[in-house]
A and B are shown apart, each in its own frame.
Chain A
Amino acid sequence: MATGIWVIAEQKDGKLKKVSLEMLSKAREMAGGEQVTALLLGSGVEGLAAGMGPYGADKVLVFDAPVLKEYTTDAYTKVIVDAVKEGGPAILLGPATATGKDLLPRVAARLNTGLASDCVNLRMEGGKLLATRPIYAGKCIVDASVPDALPQMASVRPNVLAVGDADASKKAEVVKKDANVTDADLKAILKEIVRGASETVDLTEASIIVAGGRAMKEKSNFKILWDLAQVLGPGTTVGASRAAVDSGYAEHSMQVGQTGKVVNPNLYIACGISGAIQHLAGMRTSKVIVAINKDPEAPIFQKADYGIVGDLFKVVPLLTEEIRKLKAQD
């Protein structure tokens, strides 16, 4: 019989992503007496395995091989599917990050099972995983389960589930496994990684987002948003509304909303964004929303915790200055 919860951990540049610990904490809470197992894939990552014990992993399966250094759909799918077939978990969780969104659908299809994508909550009900996921970019919520197939799969949106307190007395059993990937498995070949000009934390994983709308007027004006982002510290990035992207002020990868990214930072600062329904859907789960807009009637003010009716070109640089002062005192 299938038992236990498996968590596909994600690391980047030799560090575990926070979402890995978020998933482990939730898995621990749901597992009861059953085992929680983390899967760690990469090259030179074995040292990260022990760090998962205090957050709830009883066991860590480490697949450490050069072929897994960079993520590829084919290699990662093969390794995970092989491991699942051998180990037979009841539940398989993974991150809804850029990598997880590519990987998990392929894994689910190969295992002929169901996957609830981009979940914001998970719980056990009647011995089955019940996953809560936003649809229509968050305009609606659905609870869903995988009643008749195994493993029950879910991908977890970063920044939503809480990380439990670390229990340093809990050690995970670390098991080294072989990655059985041959050239024949690799059909789509990664040729190159092109780093972005202003590469920062991804919008979907950011803890603070400063976003600009049509009122930014031109591309170069986004600099004041980047300046504000910089003083707010690591974990902060800059986003944009569809209007700003379609006007050519910002890259498509920066778009927040129904045809962009759905985000949920601790703090969302909307600058010159009026708040179209598609944009509001994509950022409504932000914990704190600040809106800066000249138009007091802008719909964004209906969703904002703090609104400033004013000229963003005056307010944003002043805000940057105030925060710089505050941080200097910390």
Chain B
Amino acid sequence: MDILVCMKQVPDTETKIQINAQGSGIVAEGIKYVMNPYDEFAVEEALRIKEKFGGTVTIVSMGPARATEAIRTALAMGADKGVHLNDPAFEGADSYATAKALAAAIKPLPCNIILCGKQAVDNDNAQVYAAVAEMLGMPHVSVVTKLEIAADGKSATAEREVEGGAKEVVQASLPVLVAAQKGLNEPRYASLPGIMKAKKKPIDVVDLAKSGLAAGDVGAAGSKLKPVKYSLPPEREAGKVLEGEPEELAAKLVKLLREEAKAI
């Protein structure tokens, strides 16, 4: 089974975000980058499929040179090889232009299933997976918390989270794209031997020329959604701290919520 994972390197969720003086982007200095948390579930699921069916797990990622670290992390978890879309022309891409580049890199590869995280926790677009599937003419199933591949390797049944705790069971023939939600699995940690082995695993660097796309198709030039201005949300002020005995506190709070905040 040829299993592909689209992965993004993002700032650690601990990061305090700051805006540059022009309001044209976030301050990159001092940020620690990690594999997008939802992509960890995608990598783990890919490895489990490989353990069951055999085959190859390929990590496809777009990003600057530093993204290699996140690709190596996935290789250390057990993926077999990486494809790294790295070219200054790819920079500043929105979801559409990102999907264009990823789809172009995936197209020549053998592929039975593509796994992605349901969203990257930096720009929170949650669109790339759907656009990649569309551009490759595949169905997608999003926010997946359970995945079964049929024994014959021809179809997949996925459970996806819908609203208020309900779930849907969706079935599709392969190839299909699955966007992972937390709960799909418990991602493994890379072992020390895994980390050593990862150093020797191949990463194929795909630049603009190799992608076969034109400069106008990718990066900021190929983007449909353009950022105009970045800002920080207003800080919330700390409010009242109530003191007293629990009985008194509960009564006081209910009165404030009703009369002052008008929230109940």
Contacts and interface: CB of A to CB of B under 8 A. Distances in A.
Contact of A106 (B140, B176, B247, B251): B140
B122 to A, nearest CB: 6
A304 B164 CA distance: 25
B182 A255 contact: yes
B127 interface: yes
Contacts of B225: 114-116, 144-146
Interface stretch (A46-54, A55-63, A305-313): A305-313
Interface stretch (B79-87, B93-101, B207-215): B93-101
Contacts of A97: 163
A147 B227 CA distance: 10
A315 B141 CA distance: 42
Interface stretch (B106-114, B188-196, B253-261): B253-261
A117 B96 CA distance: 13
Interface string B135-154: 10011111101000000000
Contacts of A102: 130, 142-143
Given A130-B228, A302-B238, A138 B233 contact: yes
Interface in A146-171: 146-149
Interface stretch (B1-9, B11-19, B43-51): B11-19
A178 interface: no
Interface size class of A (residues with CB under 8 A): 35 or more
A108 interface: yes
Contact of B243 (A134, A194, A278, A309): A309
A108 B165 contact: no
B163 A287 contact: no
Contacts of B167: 193-194, 196
Contacts of A108: 96, 127, 131, 224
Given A149-B224, A200-B164, A303-B238, A321 B250 contact: yes
A134 B232 CA distance: 9
Interface in B155-195: 157, 159, 161-173, 176, 181-183
Contacts of B256: 306
A222 to B, nearest CB: 13
A93 to B, nearest CB: 14
A109 B165 CA distance: 28
A193 B127 CA distance: 24
Interface stretch (A27-35, A182-190, A212-220): A182-190
Contacts of A145: 225-226, 228
11 contacts: A73-B140, A98-B143, A142-B228, A142-B231, A145-B226, A193-B169, A200-B165, A208-B264, A267-B257, A309-B243, A323-B264
